[in-house]
Every structure is written in C-alpha cells, then in structure tokens.
Amino acid sequence: MMMDTVEATYFAFQKRVRDIALATSCPCDACILIPALDLKFFLHEGEYVVRRIARSEELTGFDVILLHRLSKGTAGSKVSQKAYAVYTKATVDAFGMDPAAFHLIPHSETYDDVGEVPVFVQDLWVRWEEEQVPEPRLRHRRGGRVHGLLRHPGEAPNGV
C-alpha cells in the first residue's frame, strides 16, 4: 500500500539520521543540525505532462502545480512536528483509504482559482514514536504453553 511505502521511507530516514548523529563528532553547523532534518510527503492522484527541455525532463500541468501549492500551504500546522504526509482527497478516494481508520487529520486549503482542496494529514513523527515501542516477546514455551513475557526495561505489565 502507498501509506506503507511512505512510512517505510520515513522510518529508514529517521534511522539513518539517528545513526549519523550518534556516529559523528564533527562540531560544524551542518553536522550539529543533522538531528533537526525531517521529511514531508505530498501525495496526489492526478494527471501530468512530461516536458523535455534541453537534456532534462520536467513534470507540468494543473495537478503538478496544485502539489507545489500544497507544499507551501498550512497542512503542517495540523501536526505537532514537522514530519508529515499530506494525502489529497483524490488520492484517498483513488486508493480506497478510510482516513479515520488511519488516523488522518482532515484539513483543506483554498485557492482563488481552484477553490477548496480537501486533504488529510498524517503525523509521521507520531508513527515513528509508535514504531519505537518494543512489543512483548515470548520468553519460552513448554508443552505449547507460554511461561512468561519479556518486556522492555521500565515497561509496566498489562493492566497497570
């Protein structure tokens, strides 16, 4: 699913940022700011035209311009961190996604020449933090019965 790809990309990015930050001792501004790096994703189902200019290609068309405008919009204000994904309603509809089931936050941007553009925002930082919580693992089995669980240090037992 598309959302899995977005999350997997973001998780890989965060792991790499973490590893670089832990492995570097360089005091330059660029290295010091590595932990502050983050990603934003904008996903839209639409049409585009590939235009060749000299030796390169560029995407153009109404939907490409709409994505550019959305990237300058206010959707990021809906989440607490600067890592998020914006899915247009066209994308959600095309992929048959249920925004409530995925905890997507409804939002809209309005443009004079386009009107209201409904979007849904996913807080990727929250998903990253959820992914960091270790799940209890089986300690061992004897005769098909579970005889204990391993928990992350400091993790409270179920029901506490």
Q: pLDDT tens across 80-99, in order?
A: 878 999 999 999 999 999 99
State both tokens at 151. 């928990």
Q: pLDDT tens across 14-23, in order?
A: 999 999 989 9
pTM of the model: 0.78
- Has residue 147 got a pLDDT over 80? no
Residue 60's closest CA among 68, 69, 52, 51?
Answer: 51
What is the residue extent of each domain of the chain?
A: 39-134
> Exposure pattern of 32-51 as b/e (b: 16+ CB <10 Å)?
eeeeeebeebbbbeeeeeee
Q: What percent of the chain has pLDDT over 70?
A: 84
Q: pLDDT tens across 22-71, in order?
A: 998 999 999 899 999 999 999 999 999 999 999 999 999 999 999 999 99
SS3 at position 63: helix
Average predicted confidence (pLDDT) for the chain: 87
pLDDT at 45: 95
